[in-house]
Amino acid sequence: MTTAVANTQAQAVQPLTGRIVALLAGLAAIGMLSTNIILPAFPLIGEALGVSAREMGLTLSSYFITFALGQLIVGPLADRYGRQKLVLGGLAIFVVGTVIGGLATSLEVLIAGRVVQALGVCAASVLSRAIARDLFEGEALARALSLTMIATAAAPGFSPLAGSLLSVTLGWRAIFILVGLAAVVLAFFYVRGLGETHPADRRAPHSATSVVLAYARLARDSRFILPALSMSLLLSGLFASFAAAPAILMKGIGLTSLQTGLYFASTVFVVFAAGMAAPRLAHRHGAGAITILGIACAMAGGGLLLAGSADPSLGWYAISMVTFLWGMGLANPLGTAIAMGPFGKEAGMASALLGFISMGAAALTTWLASVLTFAPVTTLGGIQLIACLVAMVLFLLRGRSG
């Protein structure tokens, strides 16, 4: 046990390395990989299962709801029993859900598989932030979260392209084989390269009552809840764009499945550039100021989408989304670091509550994007604009309360 503590303390003072970034990125990204990789295959899956594209949207909202609720359980367990058991157990459950989804012959079974997937993979996602907080503080934490966020954005960006290629060449069930293999590989390298980062002397023996009280304290603490709500609303605009993309890009603009995948892949570079710029700009101008700038930029992107035609060209849609993604890429890692920074001992619970709020907001906006009867572009632009406006107000209130 002493050796484990010494290793963890040594890691905490080491510079951020490519190995740690890769592992954190993998943990954060696998949940998003399994979210978006099936989007281009919706028409094929719907045809195979005899359901409409709108009904296929239930596979997203059910995934997000389960993901959100599961994190509330994972966080306290990880603070009590350590990170490694929860990460590996979660990835094993994810593989089981992947098998169920890959063998599905009805929408109900597919949704069940997606629910089991989400229940397992939420552990990897929520604990990627907690592990980063275990190992780093201050600017190093912000940089770690920025690089992790790039991977989190890259997964939903590149995964539709992978999903499109797989569904066209090998069939949609091959998609589930790919994500299952990715989970197995990630578990192997996690054990070999990182392992436990939350030593026994820092663990909290939470009871059910203490968990509820701890979550209540976090929810009342303006240092956490205001930036957490703000970043969750910002991300909800991104998830809404995922839900609306098939209708806008494939039905509206007329892109093929492969072209839609290429579009998503191209947007990754915007988030990559913003994520790389965020820590440097924060070092010069302050994390709070750059977060506000990012929210404002994302709000402008939603406004452009709403102000344009209900049947936009690919160029106008791309400009609007690039503006939104650049702002989100600046604000999200810095705002997340601001929310989690003061809560090192409760990093698991803070990350879990942040993840719950984020996925809850995502479930709401993806549901709205699916059920509102306005033109898809109008719906998406309105969601992004309103979400960013409320996010800005909440983040500014944090400055006043601080």
Domain ranges of the chain: 17-198+222-401
Taking only the tens place, the pLDDT of each residue in 161-210 is 888 888 888 888 999 999 999 999 999 988 887 777 666 666 666 667 87
First CA to last CA across the chain, in angstroms?
39
Q: Does domain 17-198+222-401 bear CATH number 1.20.1250.20? A: yes
- pLDDT of 202 reads 64
Q: Given the structure tokens 């740690």, which residue do they identify?
A: 20
Taking only the tens place, the pLDDT of each residue in 35-70 is 778 877 887 888 888 887 667 777 887 888 888 888
What SS3 state is found at 380? helix
- pLDDT of 344 reads 67
Taking only the tens place, the pLDDT of each residue in 222-275 is 999 999 999 999 999 988 887 787 788 888 888 887 787 788 778 878 888 888
- CA geometry: angle 156, 160, 163, nearest 5 deg: 130
What global pTM score does this model have? 0.73
- pLDDT of 159 reads 78
- 199: nearest Cα among 79, 343, 342: 79
Distance CA 62, CA 243 (A): 13
- pLDDT of 8 reads 41
What SS3 state is found at 309? coil
Percent of the chain with pLDDT over 70: 88
Contact 376, 248 (CB under 8 A): yes
pLDDT at 389 over 80: yes
